[in-house]
Amino acid sequence: MVETVVTVERTTTTTGPPGGNPSAGDNGGFWSAIRINMDYYRTAPGIIKIVQFILGIICMALASPAQAAATSFFLFVVVISFIITILLIAAYFLGIREALNVAVNWIFSELLTTACADAALLYCIIVQLARWDRIER
């Protein structure tokens, strides 16, 4: 799998007269590397992330209020997945992924997180169907 690597170079700029107060600027800290990244949401992974967000809202709306323990477990997994999706949306929107200088394979960690959430949701669906089957009999 190919991953694009973006290097963020932090530079400091000063405004005002020469010999001015250098502490008045940003000094190239963490927040200077944060950039709004709308182009990500025009790609296939960005569109999928938005679809995950919308499906999370639909699942929470349809499953609440929880009337059974199986539905409560389903809602728990959906809410945790929804929170992770919101955090990933914020990370990609603000460009935090590029601003952090950590050796993390973001694509693999996102794949692992999504796979665990999908497995948990599949388990929840099976439990929910088993619960509905008991109610019908």
Q: Which has the closest alpha carbon to 60: 119, 124, 116, 133?
A: 124
11 belongs to a structural domain? no
30 belongs to a structural domain? no
56 belongs to a structural domain? yes
pLDDT at 94: 83
110 belongs to a structural domain? yes
Domains identified in the chain, total number: 1
4 belongs to a structural domain? no
28 belongs to a structural domain? no
The two structure tokens encoding residue 92: 């990609």
Ranked by mean pLDDT, the top range of 64-73, 81-90, 96-105 is: 81-90
* Cα distances (angstroms) measured from residue 36 to each of 4, 45, 84, 95, 111: 18, 17, 19, 6, 23
16 belongs to a structural domain? no
What is d(CA 99, CA 43) in angstroms, rounded to the nearest whole number? 20
Residues spanned by the domain of 103: 35-136
Asked if 66 and 75 touch (Cβ cutoff 8 Å), the reply is: yes
Query: Is-above-0.95 flag for pTM?
Result: no
Mean local confidence (pLDDT), 55-81: 88
1 belongs to a structural domain? no
